[in-house]
Structure 1
Amino acid sequence: METGIKDLARPVEASAIMELLPARPRVLALGEPTHGEDALLELRNALFRQLVEEEGYRTIALESDCLRALTVDAYVASGEGSLDDVMKRGFSHDWGGSRANRELVCWMREFNAERPTDDHVRFAGMDGPLEITGAESPRQALTALHDYLTAHVDAELLPCTADRLDDLLGTDALWTNQAAMTDPSQSIGRTPEARELRLLADDMVTLLETQAPHLAVVSSPGDRDRAHLYGRTAVGLLRYHSWMADTSSARMARLLATRDEMMAGNLLALASRGPVLVYAHNSHMQRDKSAMRMWGHPKVEWWSAGALVSTRLGDQYAHVAAALGAMRHQGVDTPPSDTVEGILHSLAEPQYVIAAAQLDAVARDIRAVPRVSPYFGYAPLDPSHLPRIDGVVYVRDVPHD
């Protein structure tokens, strides 16, 4: 089998990635099969540095809270704040403690330090203010959007006062109650107050659009971009909380789809300003439907952010999926030879990149089957997805950090 792929493998370099694609995509996604492994994140860092320096990408987006990421972006742009505080406050999912994420932020700051503002590489979060255990209060997004509008449009055009917003929002702990994730009756997402907040959020986003010519004169592009980010996030969070209160069988599918729609909205907004590099789980970046089981529910399917963005951008979207062979500290041993990873593992190279179409041809010849993972946190590549992936980066062994 090695003979079938050894001539197809290339070093994991920016040039090898770009050779897989017809042109430089506006959104280039590198997907990971598992979270939290610094060996994969260090490979991401090296590849992203090359893509920034050689291919002109100037935005790096990670699967992290889009609002928290504003703190990181301010730091890499101007050095605002201390690195320790930025790593603590600027990431969700506890990923600020990652050595590789810290190294990425440091490199971005160094890259920008001696460059003009219009040549800076920017940092962004593609995810909403969400965790697998729940969602944040919409307070930050709603109040920030209201503050922006208050500063720039006539008061009579605003749909409510700041005090009214505060009254409707109530106590943040009610919004962040983690019990609501598994018990819809614990959610406040469909109370009269929450329903009114959804209408007000919609009215404020509409005001952003209808006042666009005026706002373009009186505020900076950066301020307008942030206002739209606050608007997208407020609407998405309120929608997410509403589905947390749902008791139908479609509840989990709606929640997962809503999260990825928020991710897609953020990526499309970033892409409207220039080419974007994004790193997230393959399940969020693939063009095929995503699926998972959780908390005893039957398998849930939904369209990922990658599928949504790809539908909008066509060949201006590319997905390069990372795959791994062994991760023994998590019980993942040498892959079976009749899986995609088994094909890739037959080559002794520690890591390489290969065109997914070429890998698909080999997989079809041997009738490859999906790999079964003993570790719930690792998702192997599905052979049926290869025709809709642009490339595969293979890491033979992931060591314990």
Structure 2
Amino acid sequence: MNYKRLVLILALTLFASSLWAQDMNYARKVIKDLSSDDYFGRGYINKGDSIAAVYLSAEMRKLKLDGFSPNFYQLYTTPINTFPEDPILKLGDKQLESAKDFIVYPDSPSCEGTFDVLWLNTEILTKSKIRKEFLKKDLSQTFLAIDSVGLNNKQLYNFASDLVSTNLFGAKGVLLRKNKLKYSARTFLKDFPTLIVKSSKLDTTTSKITVKIKNQFIENYKTQNLMGYIQGQTDSCLIYCAHYDHLGMMGSKIYPGANDNGSGVAMVLNLAKHYKKAKKKPHYTQVFLLFSGEEAGLLGSQHYVEHPLFPLEKTKLVINFDMIGTGSEGVSIYNGSVYPKEVALYTKLNDEHSYVENLVFHLPDPSSDHYSFYKKEVKSIFFYSEGDNEDYHETTDTYGELKLTQFEGLFKLVRDFSEQLK
């Protein structure tokens, strides 16, 4: 081979590799930025979601995407419950650490005081005389808990859990023992607080607790989706989407949400960057949607499907990314098995190039924003990386923990799929 030609080929190969490396650097930067303390967990304390929206709007502007508003916003409001102060829980004289030893369930109201703890056990549930005495008790100043050791019958334990969780006995509040402290967000309030406590910190020797919870319920919280697009050769569109919100803060404790879902946002922006640089106009209009409110109940995507910026009947496919920053056990496509044509193309491409490991297709799943489209009979799928997701909905979901095991391969798989889809 001619020496100059060989040098040219090597240079082009290195250049192409450097372009992808720059994209990976960009992905890492986006995730690191969004999961930093500057964004307050992208939730509803200190307007973290709005601060993140300003950042994402600037990124869309840098990428020179088209939009229906100068800042790419689609505005809406929602009720939301927050905890602006650190909650306090003492078991006897021992104070526990919030977000590490316990959390306040997100639909809880304010509560302050010292209360007795009554343990719901096998005798109360199965012995008539004891049960009658229990039902006579005034529990209005008592927290109810479950003796999970004594209730070793699974069916009986589940029955007790339902009774306690719904607080049918009118207790002041509820204590739940769990091994994982998975925080969330809620748009409504119950009339009693629920505290989830690490199993290792709470047992039946606890007879008294001191609680201080301060909630702030916001009736009309202003938030926004973001949408940019690249006009294609046709009006039919492909939507790439991810939710950019997370759980925000519980008092001073921040939930960074690096994997959930800084990783999905980074993928959407990477795809936007790729298609904006492409020399050839894409066949389908490429739409890049970032939703708020997912953690509180798919709020952003539900708002979008009720007020679509592109006609739903012109939407060829919705590709949603949620928690794709890991992947030691491969990649799942939820809703994938519903669409045999799309399954065949994804399978063919992955078989040819081995882009991702252990690509598995699943039935419909309601756990992310694709489902809002699916309910409107719009084709929609959801990418999720399997394995190493223990930090989900905890304060430990940080940038430093992400390996992005399948990220590059997933980008290439979606890129090739989108370019070959007809």
Calculate the TM-score normalised by the size of structure 1: 0.26
Larger RCO (CA under 8 A, 6+ residues apart): 1
More helix by share: 1
Greater gyration radius: 2
